[in-house]
Amino acid sequence: MGPLTTVLNMFLHSATHIVECGSVGTHECDELTLYRQALAQSDDAVVIANLDGSIAYVNLAFEKMTGYSAAEAIGKKPSILKSGEHEESFYARVWAALKQGRSFRGVFINRNKNGLLFHEEETISPITNRAESITHYVSTGRNVNSRIATERQLHQLTYYDDLTGLPNRKLFLKRLEEYTEKTAQSSNGLILLLDINNLKKINDTLGYSVGDQALCLLASRLESFCQSACSVARLSGDEFCLLVHECGDADQALAVAQNVLDLLGQALDLDGQEVFVSASIGVARYPQDAKDPKDLLRHADLALHRAKEAGQNVYLFYQTAMRDSLREDLQIESALHGALERQELHLAFQPVVRSADGVLVGLEALLRWDSPTLGSISPVRFIPQLERNGLIIPIGRWVLETACSEVAKLHKGATSLRLAVNVSARQLLHPSFVADVRSTLEKSGLAPERLELEITESVLIENAAAGDILRELRRLGVRIAADDFGTGYSSLSYLWKFPFSTLKIDRSFVAEMNRDPQAKIIVSSILNLAHGLSLEVVAEGIETEAQFELLKCLGCPLIQGYWTGRPLPLAAIKVLVMTPPDSAVVR
């Protein structure tokens, strides 16, 4: 019981005592006056109600807070303040506590005389006489609008994204936990973790305010898509998450993922400009993939990671094999650190030969790794790891220096052999890359025109600065090859934008050209295009004699693959170049 309620009790007890005694002395009179002044001057609103609920007394603070004068309130029920914002069960709990002789404390949403809502933190207590019978009820309260507004603002900041207004990661995890706790495991729920592609390009080209506009439009689409069937949240910059409460069978799950992908792929109108984005989506199912909410989200994140590796505009469902693959990736990641210093890395060189006579004309340096703990690891597994963790910079520099140095020292009969070295995006864009190439050529003594740097199309499409770097390399005399040519969307357009000297026909076309007429036409077209642009052509991935003969017939000048020569250690290359200059090396 608060101090003000205690004063009220004392006031009423004194008044009751006077009534019962039928007389009042000086002391009692002074005491009553003191109590009345305390109530009248209190900053808290005070209401005294009779046993039937009718108001018997209000103080000045009540009048200021509600707009009702004492004359207007006395004789009325407290329901004059009723706002309609509370359920009847709320008031039932209030009366149940009071009739049991207990106080009720809570925040009431009331309505003042002018019809405006206000929050009142209120304590209502029963007042008893000397016989312990309830004679009155007393309420003390104060307006807490400011506090409620602050609490709501804090709640908004804590649980909602400031830009889109969507729930944030914290609230989404809370809702996910509630869902898994309350939902029967016979239900079929889905978690869809979405990563929006191309937002960086929008920010870089149109500005961050337009990028924010794009995020808000996407958030609105997802919110409309969900309605009551699912929950949506923005977890981070370009990452959203959907919780589908009930999904049905596997076909319906596939349909949901595809519908979300299609929804996000629709055009965005950004300040009158039509812009497109796409999404990568990782999907985990409840309870099949996990019952724990954190595990469920982690599995969706793993599926998203694999979807992003597979390319844009892709969704993938979580599979147990992904977890095993991630564990292997972590082992590889750990073992890669220090692999160069421990001398676990080495180079192999794959021959490039003339199709007309089978004579060796070049070598491609290929990185190999033999780990003492993991064994021989495929480059497909460890090179992406090098690019992600940044080790591709020092290791790529070592590959370039070692390859140039070794090829420059080969037998004098091999002085015309060209050396091809693969270059990743991170290497090419590193500030010291051009200087590293220049320094390597000077130290090794390899003629610049003998070095050919192979660049994939994705490097050029995703990095505007790549063109200037390639032109700087060409001024050094280094050759530039377009690796995996024909597999991207912009192959033809970038041929005249960048200073290429060689096209390397992707192995996917070579693999199909003997049985697919269209693949054969594509290979033939690339050869004609290269001839018209005075570019050399190398066909990759030749594994059969039939492929070799067809390429030779089509006029492909240079070929490379397992059928013409597997990647060889340096010692074997030294023996190979000892053969007479014009001797064929094709088996």
Q: Tell me: the pLDDT tens digits for 473-527?
A: 999 999 999 888 866 554 566 777 889 999 999 888 999 999 999 989 989 999 9
CATH of the domain at 219: 3.30.70.270
Q: Is residue 484 in a domain? A: yes
Q: What is the pLDDT of residues 20-51, one digit of tens each?
A: 444 444 555 555 566 567 677 788 999 999 99
Q: Is residue 417 in a domain? A: yes
Residue found under tokens 């009718």:
54
For the chain, the maximum distance between any two Cα atoms, rounded to a whole number of angstroms, is 136
- Among candidate residues 149, 178, 206, the one where a domain is terminated: 149
The predicted structure's pLDDT at residue 466: 83
Same domain, 140 and 237: no
Q: Is residue 327 in a domain? A: no
Q: Poorest-confidence range of 60-74, 86-100, 184-198, 209-223? A: 184-198
Nearest alpha carbon to residue 498 among 537, 535, 460, 530? 460
Q: Is residue 260 in a domain? A: yes
Dist CA 260 CA 276 (whole Å): 15
Q: Is 487 helix (H, G, I), strand (E, B) or coil?
A: coil
Q: Is residue 460 in a domain? A: yes
Nearest alpha carbon to residue 503 among 478, 473, 470, 533? 533
More confident residue, 571 or 413: 571
Same domain, 298 and 386: no
Dist CA 294 CA 191 (whole Å): 11
The predicted structure's pLDDT at residue 27: 52
Q: Is 48 helix (H, G, I), strand (E, B) or coil?
A: strand
- Residue 436 has, within 13 A of its CA and on its CB side, a CA count of 20
The predicted structure's pLDDT at residue 106: 94
Dist CA 90 CA 70 (whole Å): 26
Same domain, 556 and 476: yes
The structure tokens listed for 532 are 């018209």
Q: Is residue 490 in a domain? A: yes
Same domain, 260 and 358: no
* The pLDDT of residue 413 is above 70: no
- Among candidate residues 318, 352, 367, the one where a domain is terminated: 318
- Phi and psi at 549, nearest 5°, equal -65, -40
Same domain, 548 and 457: yes
Dist CA 389 CA 498 (whole Å): 28
Range of the domain at 184: 160-318
Helices (H), 245-292: 250-264
More confident residue, 93 or 26: 93
Nearest alpha carbon to residue 306 among 195, 172, 191? 195
* The pLDDT of residue 127 is above 60: yes
Q: What is the pLDDT of residues 429-457, one digit of tens each?
A: 999 999 999 999 999 999 999 999 999 87
- Under DSSP, the state recorded for 398 is H
- Among candidate residues 117, 149, 181, the one where a domain is terminated: 149
* The pLDDT of residue 234 is above 90: yes
Q: Tell me how far CA of residue 18 lies from CA of 26, 134, 577, in angstroms.
A: 12, 18, 124
How many domains does the chain fold into? 3
The two beta strands, 189-197 and 278-286, are antiparallel
- Collect all residues with Cβ–Cβ distance below 8 Å to 57 and sequence separation of at least 6: 39, 46, 47, 48, 70, 74
E runs forming strands in 434-505: 451-456, 479-485, 502-505
CATH of the domain at 520: 3.20.20.450
pTM above 0.75, yes or no: no
The structure tokens listed for 18 are 């006077």
Same domain, 426 and 468: yes
Same domain, 311 and 361: no
Same domain, 58 and 121: yes
Dist CA 491 CA 409 (whole Å): 36
Q: What is the pLDDT of residues 276-326, one digit of tens each?
A: 999 999 999 998 888 899 999 999 999 998 898 887 889 999 988 887 777
Contact assessment for residue 568 and residue 551, using Cβ atoms and an 8 Å cutoff: no
Q: Tell me how far CA of residue 446 lies from CA of 438, 450, 478, 480, in angstroms.
A: 11, 7, 11, 16
Q: What is the dihedral of CA 445, 449, 453, 456, to 10 degrees?
A: 180
Instruction: Name the residue type at position 61.
Output: A
The structure tokens listed for 317 are 């469902």
Q: Is residue 587 in a domain? A: no
* The pLDDT of residue 565 is above 80: yes
- Under DSSP, the state recorded for 308 is H
Same domain, 352 and 439: yes
More confident residue, 462 or 248: 248
Same domain, 31 and 110: yes
Q: Tell me how far CA of residue 121 lies from CA of 92, 118, 165, 295, in angstroms.
A: 18, 10, 29, 42
Same domain, 265 and 380: no
* The pLDDT of residue 15 is above 60: no
Q: Is residue 82 in a domain? A: yes
Same domain, 164 and 262: yes
